Amino acid sequence: MTILAGIAIRTVVWLHSTCFWADEGCVLSNLYSRNYAELFIPLSLYQCTPPMFLIFGKFFLSIFGTDHVALKFIPYIYSIATLIGFTILINKLVKNSASKFFTIAFLAFHVEILDFTQCFKQYSSDVFFSILILLVILFIKDKKLTDKQWLSLGIFAIFCFVSSYTSVFIIGLSSIAAVGLFLIKKDYEKLKSFTYYAIPAITGFVVFFFMNCLPNIKNEGLQLYWHTQEMFFPATLEQLQKILAFLIGQGTINAAIISILLLIGAYKLYKSDKYLFSVFSLITVNAFVLAFLNIYPLTPSRVSVYLVPFFLILIAKSADFECKKIFLFNIVVFLIFINTISIKDSFYAIANIADNPKIFKRSNAKAYVESLYKTEVSKDDYIYVDMTSQVIFEIYDKEKRFSKEQIIYEVQFGTIEETLNTLPKGRNIFFFISNDYAFNNNYYRFSNWITEHCKIVHETDDDKEGYFIKCLKIR
């Protein structure tokens, strides 16, 4: 029943998804401008979307065009597969039926994961591959594999890498833990086969990840955005609490209680399976180290969602007691689950999905372009489109009412003032700018230019729906 409820909720979220927003537009821009082979090289517009997701996206784009419901079928399927895979995983790792039920319900109603069901980005697939890799580890860890099976494992690793870049961390660290285990057990035969047949593929695609992603991750524009949002190393207890709340669910529970449960879960995992404990430990340490080195952020946002299954498994293990006398403890854990995951908030968000941009990512891009049609935009007026929104604007400007001379596309960071200073005075200018873009320092420089050179004719105060509307007159 829990799985069916989770699938039903995901279906509602997917079917009620809105038009594309800026980050999705950046993915679409790469799909439009590249052939299938070029999807394997570093992307433009600071995107780190894995090739397999892009291949699916380009295929769907060729069939369904820019219909957002059709394209968002990809993350929707990944989200359903995540729920089914997590159920199988929990049944393998946890014996207590109450703990199983609560944890599966936890993932089924996790607000952030529900949000990524209707997001044309790779985050649903990141969670799915975290779970799939753990399932494969459980399947093979105590088996004696042939050389062909080790080779198949290397090929599986390659498939994971091109489908989800965060799987690089999980497979790479699981491999390190496996090598350590083989050395401790003096199982040199396994170590030899693993080294000969699996390690070359794994090593090659770890290098591929850094070559493909690191240029975009270390790009000045993306670094600027992440740093202004404090999206790297969690330097304060408040930031750590926000990360825990995100990974465990959007609740208000004290982070100290969650931390205690995680420690109990880690201890029980250590007692039951030292190899899995070492994998979980390495993945957690790796997340902090990469954040500290500014290589990959650790933040309460979509880039960290791949960690959710690991934390939920530890929570489930903390309540994994077979003794019936511990029933009261299960009730306590259940109450913590309910408080943490805010199931009431999840159902409220779904019931009011069309009007709830605060919880689910909404976009008013289509309505904005339609409002420009209704507004009397004269031939002398300009429309300024930020660099992340060009494809979005072109998709929803179906009637092509505006001339090429009227539309000003920002090409790259640092060109805003130079472009706008060339515009004649006394003209109206409409801004098509995403709120994601508005957070970075470049936009603040833009705001200063507006204050100095423009008079506001009309603007909206809505900062929740992807795009805000400004109509200004250049002084």
Strand pairing class (407-409; 382-385) = parallel
- Please state the rounded mean pLDDT for residues 374-400: 79
Residues 211, 51: contact at Cβ < 8 Å?
no
Instruction: Tell me the C-alpha to C-alpha distance, in Å, between residue 253 and each of 229, 300, 336.
Output: 23, 15, 7
Residues 466, 365: contact at Cβ < 8 Å?
yes
pLDDT tens figures, 157-197 = 888 888 998 888 898 888 888 888 878 878 777 777 777 66
Q: Alpha helices, DSSP H only, in 218-254?
A: 220-228, 237-248
What does pTM read for this prediction? 0.85
Indicate left, alpha or beta for 96 from its phi (over 0: left) and psi (-120 to 50: alpha).
beta
SS3 16: coil
Please tell me the total number of residues recorded for the chain in this structure: 475
Q: Which helix (H) or strand (E) holds 17?
A: none
Q: Alpha helices, DSSP H only, in 399-440?
A: 416-420, 435-438
Determine the pLDDT at residue 358. 47
Percent with pLDDT over 90 in the chain: 12
pLDDT tens figures, 433-469 = 776 655 444 555 566 666 666 665 555 544 445 555 5
Determine the pLDDT at residue 103. 84
Determine the pLDDT at residue 113. 86
- Ranking 8-12, 241-245, 469-473 by mean pLDDT, the lowest is 469-473
pLDDT tens figures, 341-354 = 555 555 555 555 55
Indicate left, alpha or beta for 413 from its phi (over 0: left) and psi (-120 to 50: alpha).
beta
253 by Cβ neighbours in 10 Å (0-12 / 13-18 / 19+) ranks as: buried
Percent with pLDDT over 70 in the chain: 70
What residues have CB less than 8 Å from 267, skipping those under 6 apart? none
- Tell me the pLDDT band of 87, cut-offs 50, 70 and 90: very high
